[in-house]
Amino acid sequence: MNFDEYQKRALTTASTTKDDFKDTMHWILGVTGEAGEIAEKAKKIIRDKKGVISEADKAELGSEIGDVLWYLAVLAHHLGLSFEDIAEENLAKLKSRKNRGVIGGSGDNR
């Protein structure tokens, strides 16, 4: 499956309020909420398991990563963006940064 196929399939499980602002905020907050759940699980792995990631932890993290992916796919669609194009452009940007020796550092326009 490619990213656009994933995006298309993700949309079959999405619902909207028909209020553009509320829907946009819902998808954005969904991304951050699910990303926060990944961070929370990582924190507990460090605190409670001395940083050792078990197979069960991997499965739980994978589930949360999937939730982030879903929200990103739906948000991208809501904004009229192809998930496939976003993925391709991101890889091209990072390849360019690596080739120019600016993969580290800060700033969006490196």
User: Could you tell me the residue range of the domain that residue 29 belongs to?
Assistant: 17-98
48 within domain boundaries: yes
- Joined together, the tokens standing for residue 104 give 């580290």
Question: Which of 89, 92, 108, 98 minimizes the C-alpha distance to 3?
Answer: 89
Asked whether residue 105 is assigned to any structural domain, the reply reads no
Question: Is 3 inside a domain boundary?
Answer: no
- Specify the CATH number for the domain of residue 33: 1.10.287.1080
Other Cβ atoms less than 10 A from the Cβ of 76: the count is 21
Is a pLDDT exceeding 90 seen at residue 103?
no
Q: Is residue 106 part of a domain?
A: no
Between 43-47, 68-72, 96-100, 105-109, the lowest mean confidence (pLDDT) is in: 105-109
Query: pLDDT for 31-89, tens place per residue?
Result: 999 999 999 999 999 999 999 999 999 999 999 999 999 999 999 999 999 999 999 99
Phi, psi values for residue 105, rounded to 5°: 105, -165
Tell whether 9 is covered by a domain.
no
pLDDT tens, position by position, 6-34: 999 999 999 999 999 999 999 999 999 99
Q: What are phi and psi of 81, to 5 degrees?
A: -110, 140
Query: For residue 85, how many other CB atoms are within 10 A of its CB?
Result: 12
Number of domains into which the chain is organized: 1
Residue 7 covered by a domain = no
Is 66 among the domain residues? yes
Widest Cα–Cα separation across the chain: 46
Residue 73 forms part of a structural domain: yes
